[in-house]
Amino acid sequence: MTIQAHGLTKRYGGKPGRAAVEDLTFTVEPGTVTGFLGPNGAGKSTTLRMLLGLDAPTSGRATIGGRAYATHPAPLCEVGALLEAKAVHPGRSAFHHLMALAHTHGIPRSRVEHVLDLAGLTDVAGKRVKGFSLGMGQRLGIAAALLGDPAAIVLDEPVNGLDPEGVLWIRTLLKSLAQEGRTVLISSHLMSEMALTADHLVVIGRGRLLADTTVTALVRESGAFYVKVVTPDAARLRALLTGAETTAEAPDTLHVRGLEAPDIGRIAAAHAIPLFELSPRTASLEQAFMNLTHDAVEYQPTAAPTGAGR
């Protein structure tokens, strides 16, 4: 089930100026985990709300499986979503919360027990949700999203509040859901997390599309990918690497952008230049993300912080 945004635009309250989401077009394919990434305030939640029919676009269209979410006859069984983890009756137990949801779609008790187990909540199923930690609430939200065995799953910041074990659990879960052929869309403002979880990335900043790509391609495109070359003949090699961008990091060390390691190795060999090191390097993904979104960050510090209380 494909999720699509076509020219999606949202302007709040007829506010003039910048739209929260502007002319966003992207496709989320089944069988992969797609990370929806952007700095705070980029418009991720607004976009997800429009995809799920909770907010009306000012213009453009959002479809899941070719139709608007609201027109699906049994949405829980087609699209599982987690937006606000706290939208749960606090006096109810996890089990009763899920049973109440299950009733609305004729979902059997066995499925409720299965998702409780999947979310690691079986032992606390009888506890009131009121006493749940943030992480447990998040697990319950994910259990609810999976209740209808949906073909598409949309989760807003699913790792929020989870401890390292929880983070690993969700990462494994999302990958297995994608392997089963489901469409998985998850938002985050953490590139490092997305790099470990997502195959594909849709990156937005200030409501606009910045990249629709894979993790590997993003790193390359953002210039964070380079090859480190150590050679006693750096100057001669540098002159031969025409078309590439080279910087001399040390008298014997070059950083080369725009050529792959094998290409550099062949050029060096053809000119009998010895290489002591030839290694593809990736600057941190966080750096790649910051390079890409730098101009789109909402709240930039304008000055270095000064001493507090002065």
Ligand X SMILES: Nc1ncnc2c1ncn2[C@@H]1O[C@H](COP(=O)(O)OP(=O)(O)OP(=O)(O)O)[C@@H](O)[C@H]1O
Binding site for ligand X (CB under 6 A): 12, 20, 38, 40-46, 189
**Which residue lies nearer to ligand X by CB, 28 or 42?**
42
Q: For residue 242, what are the contacts with CB-CB under 8 A and spacing of at least 6? A: none
Q: How far is the CB of 82 from ligand X (least distance, A)?
A: 14
Q: How far is the CB of 310 from ligand X (least distance, A)?
A: 30
Residue 152's SS3 state is: strand
Q: How far is the CB of 172 from ligand X (least distance, A)?
A: 24
Q: How far is the CB of 198 from ligand X (least distance, A)?
A: 16
User: Side-chain half-sphere of 159: how many Cα atoms within 13 Å?
Assistant: 24
Exposure class string for 124-152: b at 16+ Cβ within 10 A, else e:
bbeeebeebeebbbbbbbbbbbbbbebbb
Q: How far is the CB of 181 from ligand X (least distance, A)?
A: 28
Sheet containing 245-250: give its strands across: 245-250, 253-257, 225-230, 277-282
**Which residue lies nearer to ligand X by CB, 55 or 78?**
55
Positive or negative: CA dihedral 203, 135, 111, 75: negative
**Which amino acid is located at 170 in the chain?**
I
Positive or negative: CA dihedral 88, 91, 94, 99: negative
**Which residue lies nearer to ligand X by CB, 210 or 259?**
210
**Which residue lies nearer to ligand X by CB, 41 or 258?**
41
**Which residue lies nearer to ligand X by CB, 189 or 220?**
189
